[in-house]
Amino acid sequence: MTDSAEFDLIRRKHHYRCSICRQPEKVTGTLLPVKGKAPEGDAVYPYPVCPDHHARYMQGFFTGIELKKIGISVEEYRIILAEITADREDGDGLSAAEKGSLAKEETIKKIQKAQKMKIPKVHSDYKKDI
């Protein structure tokens, strides 16, 4: 989602504290990014939050006051959550095994196509000549 070097910088900018509860990373555990909007402008900005608030964000439990701290409205939050859900479905829609069987189907189709093409009967013709 976010370049980790960039997020490291942002974490430092926020003094390694959760954007919501202001608890330091040392206390809460590694801060995680949640999608918000930059303090200036409209750009997407990954705010560092504690694991607790990250879980709450992902579950759709952020309140209006909490959303204000990461620069988005309730409406924007809904859109972001919908996107997150869609991304998850995209990623996990096909298991590795399913992808493998799809690849197999492709191969079978290619073989069937090849079999439809005329193959000269070299071997049997050769026998006749003898």
50 binds Zn ion (CB under 5 A): yes
80 binds Zn ion (CB under 5 A): no
Question: Which residues ranging from 99 to 128 are in contact with Zn ion (CB under 5 A)?
Answer: none
For the four alpha carbons of 11, 14, 16 and 22, in that order, the dihedral sign comes to negative
The answer to whether the CB of 52 falls within 8 A of the CB of 28 is yes
Query: Binding-site residue total for Zn ion (CB under 5 A)?
Result: 5
**Whose structure tokens read 């049997």?**
124
Measured from the CB atom, the residue of 18 and 67 that comes closer to Zn ion is 18
| Angle in degrees, CA 26, 32, 37, rounded to 5 | 125
**Minimum CB–partner distance for residue 23 and Zn ion (Å):** 5
Question: Which residues ranging from 14 to 43 are in contact with Zn ion (CB under 5 A)?
Answer: 18, 20-21
Task: State the number of CA atoms in the 13 A half-sphere of 27 facing the CB.
Answer: 9
**Minimum CB–partner distance for residue 108 and Zn ion (Å):** 53
Token readout for 7 is 């997020």
Chain residues binding Zn ion by CB under 5 A are 18, 20-21, 50, 53
